Structure 1
Amino acid sequence: MKKKSQQFKAIDFFCGGGGMTCGLRQAGIDVIAGVDIDKEARATYEHNNEGTVFIEKDIRRVHSDYFERNFSIQKNDDSLILVGCSPCQFYSIINTDKESSLKTKDLLRNFARFVDYYRPGYVLVENVPGILTNKQSIWPMFHKKLKDLGYDKIVYDIIDMSYYGVPQSRRRFSLIATRLKDIEVHLPQKDERQALLSDFIGVRHGFAQISAGTKDTTDFNHTVAGLSDKCLRRLKKTKHDGGSRLCWADDPELQLRCFVGKDDSFKDSYGRMWWNKPAPTITTKFFSISNGRFGHPDEDRAISLREGATLQTFPKDYVFKSNSIATTARLIGNAVPCEYARRLGLLIQQNG
């Protein structure tokens, strides 16, 4: 008689707007709750993840038995998954203000407290690669803690998500750990082919041609930031499909003083994406061409909010409940790409 597969359930710590939750739910996992201190994430999370409770709390102030008391979560539940994708500004190579991000440094320590209390069947962690290389990283402590708790099977690596169905050159630390003795864990299978920008956006994928400053008031949110006249002229002089700011470096009217004599510095700023390459990492500032290679390959604008969400593999009907471009972009850029989360969920489902 075939063994009945168990119903996995998860708690998504640092859930943000719900990228990880969305992907796990797509894989058939019951996400009981998402925890995040960000009040601006609540409306988006709740709207798109019906039945999953958004807990607006600082994890450092949540008692270990909170989920036991409020959700009847039991200790040593083999079907329980605890997810800890903590904010990673302290370890990020693009962050310059380490002092303001210091409070994010030890969030994994607080997550480990819940792993210790509940001893779930599985633990998932996603973070920036710097968590392995930063000399002040919490990683050695967290890894030892997992081992001490009986998680003898821990697999982790730095992966390029463009080989996992996500059309970005997005390198991330990914970990799966289990204490189950009869389970062999591994990270998702790598695709042979990278996911490319042209596989996801463009007119043939439902993205109408628009101009800088377009405001889309529908839930599709094909909204794009405006450009100053000078920035628009810069972009018009940037060749299509991968052009860079070097296209106007010799124009004294358009060249920025901070780039004079620095052609090899910040080379992606004001650049256009390539159709036949993955997008660059979608950050919280992807709506601004000055913050990276976020120019549309052909149109004279940055990519739209919906295009950024699509490159993060959010479903096209995922609604971002904010009127602010910056807030929406932050929820999108900080998310775990849904497709990678779905693959992690399927991996656990297959083990079960």
Structure 2
Amino acid sequence: MVKEKIKAVDFFCSGGGMSFGMLKAGIQVLAGIDFDENCKETYEANIGGAQFILADVFKLKEKELEDRLSLKKNDDDLLLIGCSPCQFWSIINTDKKKSKKSKNLLKEFRRFVEYFNPGYVVVENVPGVLRKKKESGLGGFIKWLNKNGYKVHFDVHEVSEYGVPQHRKRFTLIANRITSCEITPIPVKGEKITVRDVIGEHNGFPKVSPGHKDETPFLHTVAGLKKINLDRLAVTPKNGGTRLAYVNNEELAPKCHKGKIDGFKDVYGRMWWDRPSPTITTKFFSLSNGRFGHPEEDRAISLREGAVLQSFPKDYIFKTTSIANTARMIGNAVPPKYAEAVGKSILNNHTKWQNSKQEQGR
């Protein structure tokens, strides 16, 4: 008996974080689908052997995808992945009008799952999609999966448990119609990976100043800082310091923070060396958007530092045109190490099933 490899199609693939993790787990990625053409070069530079399909999922037809990738219906070895943009369901205060269209992406993804009836389905999103199960379409999707013979796991997972040096909570659904087993991501044993484990001079990140532009693929590029923010960082304690260091300083404290010792303390703060980083958002290059100050140097973290805190390897290639575009791609990504944990759990299930079939055939 020839054991077939699991084949995956990654919807809403962006720059390839999920696809890269699946490849590392041992799953063949056939294609990534995204409507943002700015993702194409980055995806193709890193996800070997996969096609990048530039398409709007609202307009993409099931038969069109079937023909393009030579997919089969009811394929036990097929995995469909849907990591749709999640701004609409995020608790972060973003403009919901701009992201309103994205709230229906899960329903569009479901259309392809119903058509192909694959062996496995993965959905990854913000925890908010679980709190709004009815509005997001998640509740109906789970009911459909259960009704059609899938064993469904869905929960919110903390990615630092899976080898990612970052605190980040993500909703994950893994559906399996091959066995009766509930598949859950495989945690990494041992202590959590911290900021010190992946950045700093000892990890190949030379000291740089605000505004440093790295023209090499390493992309150790840092946003510039106004003098007021340089002055704030100068008095912010190393290794986890916050705005409380100057909360009563007439010149340094922002008006909205002056004298306030409660409330949100992460903005303008430094990361801790010996903890996982805070959640890497799309604005991680900016001190005013979170605890994105370097633990020791007087600057925000660089693009590459943000990428490795998301668990991208140091040689991952980002083909983008600006700091903001690169940071958006990195911040929106599924951390590859977490994707790898999901992929390994699916592969383990599939291998056991294949071995069982082989034993029965003897």
TM-score by length of 2: 0.93
1:175 aligns with 2:173: yes
Unaligned ranges ≥5, structure 1 = none
Q: Which position in structure 2 is the counterpart of 1:36?
A: 34
Can you list the C-alpha shifts for 1:287-339, whole angstroms capped at 9, x where unaligned?
Answer: 00000000000000000000000011111111111130000000000000011
2:248/2:259 contact within 8 Å kept:
no
1:149 counterpart = 2:148: yes
Q: Deviations over 1:65-95 (max 9, x none)?
A: 1221111100011110000011111111113
1:161-199 CA deviation, whole Å, 9 max, x = no partner? 111100111011111101113655233235442221111
Mean alpha-carbon deviation: is it higher for 220-229 or for 41-50? 41-50
Do the aligned partners of 2:25 and 2:341 also contact (CA within 8 Å) in 1? Answer: yes
Structure 1 residue aligned with 2:101, among 90, 103, 112? 103
Which position in structure 1 is the counterpart of 2:319? 321
Pair 184,144 (structure 1): closer, same or farther in 2 beyond 3 Å: closer
Superposition deviation, residue 5 in structure 1: 3.5
Residue in 2 that maps onto 1:113: 111
1:346 paired to 2:339: no
Corresponding residue of 2:360: none
**Aligned-partner Cα distance in 2 for 1:182–1:115:** 19
For structure 2, list consecutive stretches of 5 or more residues without a partner in the other structure. 351-362
Q: Distance in 2 between matches of 1:95 and 1:64?
A: 35
The one-letter code sitting in structure 1 at the alignment partner of 2:100 is L
RMSD: 1.4
The CA deviation string for residues 220-269 of structure 1, in whole angstroms up to 9 with x for no partner, is 00001000111111111110000001111121111111213433222100
Please say if 1:331 is aligned against 2:329: yes
Is the partner of 2:130 in helix, strand or coil? helix
Q: Deviations over 1:209-228 (max 9, x none)?
A: 11111100000000010001
- Equivalents in 1 of 2:105, 2:315: separation in Å? 31
Match of 2:260 in 1: 262
Q: Structure 2 residue aligned with 1:50, among 38, 48, 71?
A: 48
Of residues 211, 216, 236, the one that matches 1:238 is 236
Which of 143, 158, 161 lines up with 2:159 in the alignment? 161
Range that drifts further, 30-39 or 3-12: 3-12
Alignment partner, residue 284 of structure 1: 282
Equivalent pairs, count: 349
- 2:123 pairs, out of 122, 125, 135, with 125
Q: Which amino acid aligns with 2:142?
A: H
Q: 1-side partners of 2:189 and 2:261: how far apart?
A: 35
Secondary structure of residue in 2 paired with 1:274: coil
Matched with 2:135 is 136
Question: Within 1, Cα distance between the matches of 2:75 and 2:344?
Answer: 19
The whole-number CA distance in structure 2 between the counterparts of 1:178 and 1:128 is: 21
CA distance in 2, matches of 1:248, 1:336: 36
The equivalences for 1:53-68 within 5 A come to 53-68=51-66
Runs of 4+ in 1 over 6 A off after TM superposition: none
Q: In 1, Cα distance between the equivalents of 2:2 and 2:262?
A: 58
The one-letter amino acid of 2:140's match is: M
- Please point out which of 180, 188, 201 is paired with 1:203: 201
1:112 touches 1:145 (CA, 8 Å); kept in 2?
A: no
Deviates more, 1:37-46 or 1:114-123: 37-46
1:27 aligned to 2:22? no
The answer to whether 1:227 aligns with 2:222 is no
Structure 2: how far apart are the matches of 1:148 and 1:85? 23
CA contact (8 A) 2:86 2:125 kept: yes
Post-superposition Cα deviations, 1:15-55, rounded to whole Å, max 9, x if no partner, equal 00000011111122111110111111111111111321111
Report the 3-state secondary structure (helix = DSSP H, G, I; strand = E; otherwise coil) of the residue aligned with 1:106. Answer: helix
Deviation, 1:4, is 4.8
